[in-house]
Amino acid sequence: MAISMGVLCEKCGTLHLINSATKNRVDRLPRTDSNLFVLRCMACLAVRSFSRGDLRAYLVSDEYYARGFAKRGQYQLQPIQVKSRAASCS
C-alpha cells in the first residue's frame, strides 16, 4: 500500500495520482500563475483545473499507484495536512 498525493475527478470520482504515470493527463496552465494545472480524466473525459492546494493524500494499493489512478472504492482519503511551499519556507 502507498500513500500518494492526488486529485479527484469531480464528475466520476476517479482519483488521479500525481506521479510519473499521470504525466499525459496533468498539464500546467499556460499562464503566469504556475500553481494552476489541468486534469484530463481518462474515465469520463472531463477536464478540470486545480491548484496544489486541491491535492490530498490517499492510501492506494501498489497496483493503482503504478497505473496512476484508482476508481471510487479503491482509495482511502488520509488525514494528512499538507503545507504549501510558501508556508513551509517561513
Q: Which residues, including other chains, have CB under 8 Å from residue 25's CB and lie 6 or more apart?
A: 16, 39, 40, 41, 42, 68
Q: What is the pLDDT of residue 90?
A: 42
Q: What is the pLDDT of residue 24?
A: 64
Output b/e per residue, 57-86; b: 16+ Cβ within 10 A.
ebbbeeebbeebbbeeeebeeeeeeeeeee
Block mean pLDDT (10 aa), the chain, length 90: 90 89 66 75 90 91 92 92 51
Q: What is the pLDDT of residue 75?
A: 96
CA angle 14, 67, 46 (to 5 degrees): 35
Q: What is the pLDDT of residue 81?
A: 60
